[in-house]
Amino acid sequence: MDDIPQLVTELPADGTIPSERSTAPSVSSSDPTRKIPVTIITGYLGSGKSTLLENIGKTSKKKLAIILNEFGDSSVIEKSVTIKDTEKSESIQEWLDLGNGCLCCTVKDNGVVAIEQLVEKSKDRIDHILLETTGVADPAPIAKMFWLDEGLSSNIYIDGVVTVVDSEHVLKCLDDVGGHWHRENNHVKNAQTTNVEDLTEEELQQEEEQLQEGITTAHLQIALADTILINKYDKLQDKEKEVQAITDRIRSINGTSPIYTTSFGDIELDLILDLHAYEGDVTKVSKSLLSNSASFHDSRISTVTLEFPFLASEEQFDQIESFLQYILWENKINDKEVEIHRLKGLLVQKDPEIVKVVQGVRDTYDTIEGGKLLDGVKSNKLVLIGKNLNQEDLKIELYKYLK
Amino acid sequence: MATVCASPTCGKDTESALKCPVCLKNGVNSVFCDQSCFRSSWSVHKHIHPSEDGTDSYNPFPDFSFSGELRPAYPLSDRRPVAKHIKLPDYAKNGKPISEIKNDRVGRITQLSEKDIKKMRKVSKVSREILDVTASHVRPGITTDELDAILHKECMKRNAYPSPLNYYNFPKSVCTSINEVICHGIPDKTVLKDGDIINLDVTIYYMGLHSDLNETYYVGDKAKCDPDTVRLVETTRECLDLAIKAVKPGLAFRELGNIIQAHATKNDCSVVRTYCGHGIGELFHCQPNIPHYAKNKAIGIIKPGMVFTIEPMLCLGTHKDMSWPDNWTAVTEDGKKSAQFEHMLLATETGVEVLTARSETSPGGPVARIE
């Protein structure tokens, strides 16, 4: 509506035309404190992601928005969302409205803005968002996208990454050096992307290099996972032995995240939702840091724990930050090329007590202050999942900064 | 004495003394029975008003709930032609900056070679000249479209392409952001008034490189006499200066937001979150991303040879922004004023070089706060 003036008997002395509308339009009135969690569900085509989602939709009491596929494929213009209202057992299809790009750099990805708008529009109809990636998707860029700065006061936050692996094929897949198995089974970008023209040379080249090295998308999906589901348990012959072999193999890559076996995605929802995996909860992080139980290390991507004494001064927090910035942004540790996919940690100064949680995915990291130290924690701890990592090099690099 | 209600759908005799203020202003008496009679006939009645300032402009989004007083004034002028010999960026033809989109997926921060740095200095100087010439025409009574025409002509004179033109289909050659407009205002038939502030955001593409800078200007003397407006504009200017002072090799980009927000808060201004500073060079926008708010997770350390912008946007009220239906114009949600300043910077071995620095004769510049 354009402004309708207020009728007058004579014009005010200053000549201004009074407006009928006395106040500015009210700014959106939704509860600004409620944030909706986003869980990223990743896994190869055929691993059972969709069955898992279906199962969650059936059993959850939460009102879920399920965003299917194609996420991370930033060129796709429209994306559909299914909002399941389990109480009324209704499904509503919505379209995400992805605007065009922007003249200046914007902080948020278009997809994130579209989901924020969806939440805004349907505030009480959504309790949790599940985002299913394509089979070939590296989940890190998507996790980064949804790990929004506090200052952006978004109405959504990243809850965690759940990775589904196909128990029948995962070992073959992780052993594939050179990409033969991946190409044969169409687990490559060329075979799964709707707009093949959108793939850049660099992307394809990077995929090829990783396949040659034996670093598959499955490695990345497991490295980034905050919870791992070994699915299709029912298909295994010698169940106990095979599950052990798969678990050992996954542990060698990701030594900290919980692993569960499932058939047809039957899993208690508490185990995969509300993980708060990117937050500064000291209790949760302490727990996950304790459990690095890898018995041997995958030579390609592995989990390494670095322990060192509590910090003595606040300057040492800054020194650790410089160390983290170096290893995450220069991709080097003790002059060796490395790649860090996930980082978690706990940094403590005893007197006065300062406890900081460290969270990181690829080159994005944060240190979050707050919380109380748990009994039994005797040292600082950093857990890194990535390529070419080992404890000695990390120690050497750390003490270049820590003085 | 009874008159006939001026509403074309009423036509009753009335004793009312209520008149349409717009008509009154134009020396016409249009009497209506009451406000509701007036309201129901408004959409028809308003057409008898002469258009403001004698131009035939209209608001293309009459149903949109604008947050402040500013309205778009369409039609936009025709797309300005670019001389054939001028080197075009890749998006000039179809609006899609393909090289940027590709680069975003790689996302490394480049350090310029000595040769490119020399070129960059030249391009920066040209962009400063173009901004200064355009800004010297800022005065009450000029339209933003006229400013766009001036800028475009100055670009053509210097063989430079105006980078905003057709970038993601942006229709004009410069961004003109008045009062509550945070950024990306589209030049149109809007007439600048005494008391307005306007930001001119200029980017040019010349010798294969982009150069980006912007400044906010007071329109007329009234703006300079309003304490809040001056506090906003000068605080924003100071925020940029303070951030630039901190730039040196070894500093993490994420620190700049802490500096800017601290100074803004001290002066009771808010910092816009949605838009950030950026790397620039062969591409209009690239890594790094430089948010202007505190506690951000921006990636990267400043190193010699990096070229990037810092361009804080501050507001008198809320930092929250919304878009007009043109999908470009970003305005404050509460309609209060917003200001912005931008420089393009080169990190050197020892500190920083302000590539787009003002000259002795640059229009605008700081004014004293009014206590």
What pLDDT is attached to residue A88?
53
Do B235 and B336 belong to one domain? Answer: yes
Neighboring chain A residues of B47 at a CB cutoff of 8 Å: none
Structural domain includes residue A253: yes
Structural domain includes residue A11: no
- Report whether A381 contacts A305 (CB < 8 A): yes
| Letter string b/e over residues A225-250, b meaning 16 or more CB atoms within 10 A of that residue's CB | bbbbbbbbbeebeeeeebbeebeebb
Residue B104 counted as an annotated binding residue: no
- Report whether A56 contacts A269 (CB < 8 A): yes
| Cβ <8 Å between B106 and A147 | no
DSSP structural state of residue A16: P
> How many structural domains compose chain A?
2
The pair of structure tokens assigned to B210 is 């982009």
Average pLDDT over residues A309-321: 95
Residue B311 counted as an annotated binding residue: yes
Lowest-pLDDT range, A81-90, A283-292, B51-60, B335-344? A81-90
Structural domain includes residue A364: yes
Do A369 and A269 belong to one domain? Answer: no
Query: Across the interface, which of B183, B184, B295 has its CB nearest the CB of A149?
Result: B295
| Cβ <8 Å between B39 and A20 | yes
Min Cα–Cα distance to chain A from B319, Å:
10
Structural domain includes residue A23: no
Do B132 and B35 belong to one domain? Answer: no
Do A250 and A118 belong to one domain? Answer: yes
Min Cα–Cα distance to chain B from A98, Å:
12
Residue B212 counted as an annotated binding residue: yes
Do A273 and A310 belong to one domain? Answer: no
| Cβ <8 Å between A203 and B67 | no
pLDDT of residue A99 exceeding 90? no
Within 8 A by CB and 6+ apart from B77, the residues are: B145, B148, B149
pLDDT of residue A100 exceeding 80? no
* β-strands A36-43, B286-290 pairing: unpaired
Residue showing tokens 């003490």: A399
| Cβ <8 Å between A7 and B311 | no
**How far apart (Å, rounded) are the C-alpha atoms in residues B125 and A266?**
65
Please state, for a pLDDT cut of 70, what percent of chain A lies above it. 82
Do A111 and A233 belong to one domain? Answer: yes
What pLDDT is attached to residue B144?
98
Structural domain includes residue A9: no
- Report whether B302 contacts B248 (CB < 8 A): yes
Do A74 and A159 belong to one domain? Answer: yes
For residue B294, the enclosing domain spans: 90-354
Do A258 and A385 belong to one domain? Answer: no
Min Cα–Cα distance to chain B from A139, Å:
14
| Cβ <8 Å between B297 and A149 | yes
B365: left (phi over 0), alpha (psi -120 to 50) or beta: left
Do A271 and A388 belong to one domain? Answer: no
Structural domain includes residue B81: no
Task: State CA A45 to chain mean position distance.
Answer: 19
Lowest-pLDDT range, A58-67, A189-198, B341-350? A189-198
**How far apart (Å, rounded) are the C-alpha atoms in residues B286 and B101?**
9
What pLDDT is attached to residue B340?
98
pLDDT of residue A78 exceeding 50? no
| Cβ <8 Å between A147 and B294 | no
**How far apart (Å, rounded) are the C-alpha atoms in residues B237 and A227?**
48
Do A256 and A314 belong to one domain? Answer: no
Chain B CA closest to residue A147:
B297
pLDDT of residue A215 exceeding 70? yes
- Bridge partners (DSSP) listed for residue A380: A308
Distances (CA, A) of A352 to A114, A349, A372, A403, B283: 44, 7, 12, 19, 48
Structural domain includes residue B234: yes
Min Cα–Cα distance to chain B from A250, Å:
28
Residue B234 counted as an annotated binding residue: no
Average pLDDT over residues A81-100: 58
> How many structural domains compose chain B?
2
Query: Across the interface, which of A104, A151, A202 has its CB nearest the CB of B273?
Result: A151
Chain A CA closest to residue B32:
A7
pLDDT of residue A101 exceeding 80? no
| Cβ <8 Å between B97 and A20 | no
Structural domain includes residue B359: no
At which of A278, A312, A342 does a domain end?
Answer: A278
| Cβ <8 Å between B62 and A202 | no
Q: B60 — phi, psi (to 5°)?
A: -75, -10
- Bridge partners (DSSP) listed for residue B74: B58
| Cβ <8 Å between B168 and A102 | yes
What pLDDT is attached to residue A13?
76
Low-confidence stretches of chain B (pLDDT < 50) are none
Structural domain includes residue A26: no
- Report whether B343 contacts B243 (CB < 8 A): no
Q: Which of B23, B256, B299 would you mutate first to test chain A, the one with the most A CBs within 10 A?
A: B299
Give the DSSP per-residue string, A327-352. Answer: HHHS-EETTEE-EEEEEEEEEEETTT
Q: Within an 8 Å CB–CB cutoff, is residue B42 touching chain A?
A: yes
Query: Across the interface, which of B97, B101, B327 has its CB nearest the CB of A99?
Result: B327
Structural domain includes residue A347: yes
Lowest-pLDDT range, A1-5, A154-158, A227-231, B153-157? A1-5
Structure ipTM: 0.80
H, E, C per residue of chain B? CCEECCCCCCCCEECCCCECHHHHHCCCCCECCCHHHHHHHHHHHHHHCCCHHHCCCECCCCCCCCCCCCCCCECCCCCCCCCCCCCCCHHHCCCCCHHHHHHHHHCCCCCCCHHHHHHHHHHHHHHHHHHHHHHCCCCCCCEHHHHHHHHHHHHHHCCCEECCCCHHHCCCCCEEEECCEEECCCCCCCECCCCCEEEEEEEEEECCEEEEEEEEEECHHHHHCCHHHHHHHHHHHHHHHHHHHHCCCCCECHHHHHHHHHHHHHCCCEECCCECEEECCCCCCEEEEECCCCCCCCCCECCCCCEEEECCEEECCCCCEEECCCCCCEEECCCCCEEECEEEEEECCCCEEECCCCCCCCCCCCCCCCC
Query: Across the interface, which of B39, B257, B285 has its CB nearest the CB of A105?
Result: B285
Residue B255 counted as an annotated binding residue: no
pLDDT tens digits for range B35-55: 888 888 887 777 777 766 556
Average pLDDT over residues A266-270: 89
Neighboring chain B residues of A202 at a CB cutoff of 8 Å: 102, 105-106
For residue A347, the enclosing domain spans: 283-292+303-401
Amino acid letter at A183? R
Cβ of A30: how many Cβ atoms within 10 Å?
12
Do A127 and A211 belong to one domain? Answer: yes
Structural domain includes residue B75: no
Q: Within an 8 Å CB–CB cutoff, is residue B293 touching chain A?
A: yes
Do B94 and B206 belong to one domain? Answer: yes
Do B22 and B150 belong to one domain? Answer: no
Structural domain includes residue B61: no
Structural domain includes residue B95: yes
Residue B233's domain is classified under what CATH number? 3.90.230.10
Q: Within an 8 Å CB–CB cutoff, is residue B326 touching chain A?
A: no
Helix ranges (DSSP H) in A341-390: none
Min Cα–Cα distance to chain A from B21, Å:
6
In the three-class reduction of DSSP (H, G, I as helix; E, B as strand; rest coil), residue A291 is classed as coil
**How far apart (Å, rounded) are the C-alpha atoms in residues B6 and A396?**
87
Residue A328's domain is classified under what CATH number? 3.30.1220.10
The pair of structure tokens assigned to A88 is 């009324």
Average pLDDT over residues A198-204: 76
| Cβ <8 Å between A202 and B102 | yes
Chain B CA closest to residue A108:
B274
- Single out the residue of A215, A167, A160, A142 nearest to residue A44, CA to CA: A167
Neighboring chain A residues of B20 at a CB cutoff of 8 Å: 5, 7
Do B32 and B131 belong to one domain? Answer: no
Instruction: Tell me how long chain B is.
Output: 371
Strands of A380-387's sheet in order across: A301-308, A380-387, A339-349, A354-361, A364-369
Query: Across the interface, which of A11, A329, A366 has its CB nearest the CB of B301?
Result: A329
Chain B CA closest to residue A100:
B168
Residue A172's domain is classified under what CATH number? 3.40.50.300
| Cβ <8 Å between B276 and A105 | yes
What pLDDT is attached to residue B166?
95
What pLDDT is attached to residue A22?
41
**How far apart (Å, rounded) are the C-alpha atoms in residues B17 and B21?**
12
**Dihedral through CA B147, CA B152, CA B157, CA B162, nearest 10?**
130
| Cβ <8 Å between A151 and B20 | no
Give the model's confidence band at A90: pLDDT under 50 very low, under 70 low, under 90 confident, else very high. Answer: low
Q: Which of A20, A105, A330 would you mutate first to test chain B, the one with the most B CBs within 10 A?
A: A105
- Bridge partners (DSSP) listed for residue A345: A358, A382
Query: Across the interface, which of B19, B38, B168 has its CB nearest the CB of A103?
Result: B168
Within 8 A by CB and 6+ apart from A163, the residues are: A42, A43, A139, A221, A222, A224, A225, A227, A228, A229
What pLDDT is attached to residue A79?
53
Structural domain includes residue B76: no
In the three-class reduction of DSSP (H, G, I as helix; E, B as strand; rest coil), residue A225 is classed as coil
pLDDT of residue A233 exceeding 70? yes
Chain A CA closest to residue B325:
A99
| Cβ <8 Å between A5 and B285 | no
Neighboring chain B residues of A105 at a CB cutoff of 8 Å: 275-278, 285, 289
Structural domain includes residue A8: no
What pLDDT is attached to residue A69?
57
pLDDT tens digits for range A14-48: 777 777 654 333 344 456 678 999 999 999 988 98
Min Cα–Cα distance to chain B from A203, Å:
8
Do A85 and A208 belong to one domain? Answer: yes
Chain A CA closest to residue B34:
A7
Lowest-pLDDT range, A186-200, A278-292, B151-165, B279-293? A186-200
What pLDDT is attached to residue B40?
84
Min Cα–Cα distance to chain B from A201, Å:
9
Structural domain includes residue B336: yes
DSSP structural state of residue A237: S
What pLDDT is attached to residue A1?
43
Do A244 and A319 belong to one domain? Answer: no
| Cβ <8 Å between A27 and B294 | no
Q: Within an 8 Å CB–CB cutoff, is residue B324 touching chain A?
A: no
| Cβ <8 Å between A7 and B276 | no
Do A62 and A205 belong to one domain? Answer: yes
Q: Within an 8 Å CB–CB cutoff, is residue B335 touching chain A?
A: yes
Cβ-based burial of B362 (10 A; exposed 0-12, middle 13-18, buried ≥19):
middle
What pLDDT is attached to residue A70?
54
What pLDDT is attached to residue A114?
80
Do B36 and B117 belong to one domain? Answer: no
